[in-house]
């Protein structure tokens, strides 16, 4: 990682005051996550102490401990010691998916983005038991704000968001991850032809994601004729839910506790997959996007 030499970062764990506006009122960014208690068990603390220097990226922080300092960049080739495709999972939880992917695809590099410290520590415990693969790193920052600041455009070959918090109450919908601010931040990072894969066990959130993602000119459905999952669901399915455009279950996705809980509660699993429409030179008055090719 490189930093702006003119910036003196705040210590990682120092308290950072909540910023205030010119009027003196407190300003809070809308985020899609809640910072929960971060006490670690003895075993997870030992895993953190042993492996975090090797696996957890620790850039200088900005005004909050989930934000990178201004000018921080991530040199992926330097970090992994090679040039390879980069898979990024946002909200990696306990690390099951990204670790399984790193083990199954040693030819790729993998970045887990997660703000929940116990989840990162559990990921490190699993990394230890799995033989410590070299093609995995963890980033404990807010993905929406960190990734576009730290990575160059077109550098991600696959972007995964599995079972993000659905924030089911209407007044909380602005906190949902799949909303314009997140998409505006991360879609430029997808390489031409790159895959954006998502899954949820909440029908209302699945419908919300389709309404946000389908109109994006940067994206095209990978399975435009794919049927909706079959069966009944314990949560209400919107009457105008899309009947096609759903992806089959992604074989690279491990069945985590989130998916198991959703199924146990009687909910369906909704998979989505998009491809990044190839860019082209931008003449005056043009969008710079190719028309989606027929699958």
Hunting for tokens 């910072």 — which residue is that?
35
Q: According to the annotation, is 169 in a ligand binding site?
A: yes
Q: According to the annotation, is 174 in a ligand binding site?
A: no
Q: According to the annotation, is 165 in a ligand binding site?
A: yes
Among the listed residues 48, 88, 55, the one whose alpha carbon sits nearest the alpha carbon of residue 189: 88
Q: According to the annotation, is 194 in a ligand binding site?
A: no
Q: According to the annotation, is 239 in a ligand binding site?
A: no
Rg, C-alpha atoms of the chain: 20
Separation CA 208–CA 242 (nearest Å):
11
**Extended beta strands in 203-286, E state:** 219-221, 270-276
Q: Which of 4, 49, 109, 165 is catalytic?
A: 165
Q: According to the annotation, is 250 in a ligand binding site?
A: no
Using DSSP, state whether 66 is helix, strand or coil.
coil
Q: According to the annotation, is 258 in a ligand binding site?
A: yes
Is 75 considered catalytic here?
no
What Å distances lie between residue 44 and 47, 119, 167, 213, 240, CA to CA? 5, 9, 29, 37, 45
Binding site, annotated residues: 89, 114, 142, 165, 169, 201, 256-259
Catalytically annotated residues = 165
Binding site, annotated residues for substrate: 169, 201, 256-259
Binding site, annotated residues for S-adenosyl-L-methionine: 89, 114, 142, 165
């Amino acid at each position: 990682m490189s930093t702006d030499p003119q910036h003196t970062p705040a210590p990682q764990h120092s308290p950072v005051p909540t910023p205030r506006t010119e009027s003196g009122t407190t300003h809070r960014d809308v985020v899609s996550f809640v910072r929960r208690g971060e006490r670690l068990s003895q075993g997870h603390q030992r895993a953190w102490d042993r492996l975090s220097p090797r696996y957890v990226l620790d850039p200088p922080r900005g005004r909050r401990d989930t934000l990178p300092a201004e000018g921080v960049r991530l040199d992926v080739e330097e970090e992994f010691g090679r040039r390879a495709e980069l898979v990024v999972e946002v909200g990696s939880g306990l690390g099951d998916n990204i670790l399984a992917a790193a083990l199954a695809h040693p030819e790729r590099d993998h970045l887990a983005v997660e703000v929940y410290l116990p989840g990162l520590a559990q990921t490190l415990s699993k990394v230890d038991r799995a033989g410590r693969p070299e093609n995995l790193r963890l980033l404990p920052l807010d993905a929406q704000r960190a990734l576009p600041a730290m990575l160059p455009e077109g550098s991600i070959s696959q972007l995964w968001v599995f079972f993000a918090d659905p924030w089911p109450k209407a007044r909380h919908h602005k906190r949902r991850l799949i909303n314009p601010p997140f998409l505006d931040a991360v879609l430029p990072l997808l390489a031409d032809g790159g895959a954006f894969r998502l899954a949820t066990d909440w029908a209302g959130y699945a419908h919300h994601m389709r309404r946000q993602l389908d109109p994006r000119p940067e994206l095209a459905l990978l399975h435009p004729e794919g049927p909706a999952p079959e069966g009944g669901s314990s949560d209400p399915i919107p009457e105008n839910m899309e009947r096609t455009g759903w992806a089959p279950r992604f074989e690279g996705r491990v069945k985590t506790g989130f998916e198991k809980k959703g199924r146990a509660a009687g909910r369906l699993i909704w998979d989505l997959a998009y491809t990044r429409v190839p860019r082209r030179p931008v003449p005056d008055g043009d969008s710079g996007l190719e028309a989606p090719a027929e699958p």
